[in-house]
Amino acid sequence: MQLSPTAASEASPMTFCAVFVAFSLSIAALAAARAAAAAEPDIALYAMDCGRMELADADAFADDGAYKGVAKKLVVPCYLIRHPKGDLIWDTGLTEAMADAAAKPPGMSMDRKLSDQLKELGLSPADIEYLAVSHSHFDHIGNGGLFAASTWIVDADERAYAFRPQARADKIEFGAYAALENAKTVEIKEDAPYDVFGDGSVQIVPAPGHTPGHSVLLVKLAQAGPVLLTGDLWHIAESREAKRVPRFNVDRAKTIASYEAVEKLAAEIGARVVRQHVPEDFDAFPKFPQPLR
């Protein structure tokens, strides 16, 4: 079709106009995105080595028998989140008393103490304002007692689980965090994310099933983007894709629901998902004392 001179002369300014509007909109969107990025607080996330565990037989970590007779190596990390409004420790690893012990528990080792790594940053446990753990198992709350002067942010069900009679009966494991019973405590009761610093940048997200109040941590970094530290949602790399559930989880249905909720959240915000015990995920962080920002 041949355009009439009139149509052609009208088409050009219209096209130009449409392109200009689209261009202006994209500039506006870009500016808004930049403003949003600039608005993220300057947070530093440090991944610290808080021990290692070697499983001779990982059978307990999948109730479908997939790991029967299979040996696995797990890292045990601790994370320090430095926010302009304060410091948060997320998971405290194996008890650092292990570093000095002549005989280590079978399959466990520790190269460096958590307190020595904090010292390298000029910090002591007493300087850390907030403590939160993904859950109260010994390899996550093992140095909880060092942070009895911090404010402990904890799911109410998880706190009750940590102080149940059966947990108290194990003197060594319980002794490592018993002092938290008298710590300043913020109990999370709602079934919704808890915003640690009030700006949405660091949120404790419920993900129950492994334990009654297991949770994951969302950290929105200015440069690296959102990161999800997923506690013990998946201990072993392939458990995530295969949706495998450990035999010792307290609730299978809630575990599966937590898998789905965390995957949905991660997909929505494009988060980097960190399986905390998986060596390759730990090794992907900058080597301490360098932070991820």
Residue type, 195: D
173 binds Zn ion (CB under 5 A): no
Q: Which is nearer to Zn ion, 95 or 201 (CB)?
A: 95
What's the min distance (Å) between Cβ of 232 and Zn ion?
Answer: 4
Q: How far apart are CA 138 and CA 22, in angstroms?
A: 56
Structure tokens at 11: 């088409």
| 45-53, 117-125, 137-145, 237-245 -> range binding Zn ion (CB under 5 A) | 137-145
**Residue 181: DSSP 8-state:** G
232 binds Zn ion (CB under 5 A): yes
Q: Which is nearer to Zn ion, 22 or 60 (CB)?
A: 60
Site string for Zn ion, 188-227 (x = CB under 5 A): ----------------------------------------
CB within 8 A of 178, min separation 6: which ones? Answer: 145
What's the min distance (Å) between Cβ of 197 and Zn ion?
Answer: 26
Q: How many secondary structure helices (H) and strands (E) does the chain include? A: 9, 12
Alpha-carbon distance values, 239 to 90, 210, 262 (Å): 22, 13, 14
What's the min distance (Å) between Cβ of 137 and Zn ion?
Answer: 5
Cα 250 from chain centroid (whole Å): 20
Q: Which is nearer to Zn ion, 159 or 210 (CB)?
A: 210
Cα 134 from chain centroid (whole Å): 7
Among 139, 155, 157, 158, binds Zn ion (CB under 5 A): 139
CB within 8 A of 234, min separation 6: which ones? Answer: 240, 244, 275, 277, 278
Q: Which residues pair with 292 in a beta bridge?
A: 45
What's the min distance (Å) between Cβ of 76 and Zn ion?
Answer: 7
Q: Which is nearer to Zn ion, 201 or 249 (CB)?
A: 249
What's the min distance (Å) between Cβ of 64 and Zn ion?
Answer: 20
How many residues bind Zn ion (CB under 5 A)? The answer is 2
Cα 143 from chain centroid (whole Å): 17
Q: How far apart are CA 162 and CA 159, in angstroms?
A: 5
Q: Which is nearer to Zn ion, 225 or 279 (CB)?
A: 279
Q: Which is nearer to Zn ion, 82 or 140 (CB)?
A: 140
| 52-60, 143-151, 177-185, 228-236 -> range binding Zn ion (CB under 5 A) | 228-236
Residues lying near Zn ion in the complex (CB under 5 A) are found at 139, 232
